[in-house]
Amino acid sequence: MAGGPVVGEDGLARTPWAYGDPLLLEYYDTEWGLPVRDESGLFERLSLEGFQAGLSWLTILKKRERFREVFAHFDVDTVAGYGDAEVAALLADPGIIRHRGKIEACIGNARAIIALRDSGGIAEFIWSFRPAQTPTPQTIAEVPTTSSESAALSKALKREGFRFVGPTTMYALMEAVGMVDTHLVGSHRRGASGLWSD
């Protein structure tokens, strides 16, 4: 089936985008689609999805370790304290995506996460938008890029002061942290989150 699961050299079937680079394969096999509920873990995913806007995910994966270094392993309190000097240093760092809007959004989003702590925290906030059902795509063409839930999450986050959290970016976040399962039917990772049964 065109656009369906692709069997790798190891005999395991995967969604086609998992191939092309060892970083993609490892990310697909060990991390993508598994539930993330801790604050720094969600801050990292939220930030990386924001930085990815307009770029390939592989570009982000190649720079991920440097992102972790310069953003204090996505410690929310540390990043929330960044000021002009840190922004200037980040803009000069070739190891990350040097986009002022995205860098400033990352810092602002850390501050917004802190503000959410009194009302349950970022994990409770994001996971409250988990849909009642997950897609069951058989081909890449059947994988959604947005949903009513990702649009609602985007709107709610923007109300709380978050930036670079559009509906498409939020759908990608929902896929990454297991809120929906868009591993193609037939992929060896389908159902890996443990949250859905087809």
183 annotated as belonging to a binding site for a ligand: yes
Q: What is the DSSP string of 69-95?
A: HHTGGG-HHHHHT--HHHHHHHHT-TT
Q: For residues 17 and 39, give the distance between their C-alpha atoms in angstroms, rounded to a whole number.
A: 28
User: Any idea which residue has 């240093």 for tokens?
Assistant: 89
Q: What is the set of active-site residues?
A: 27, 49, 57
**Binding residue ranges for Zn(2+):** 183
**Binding residue ranges:** 183
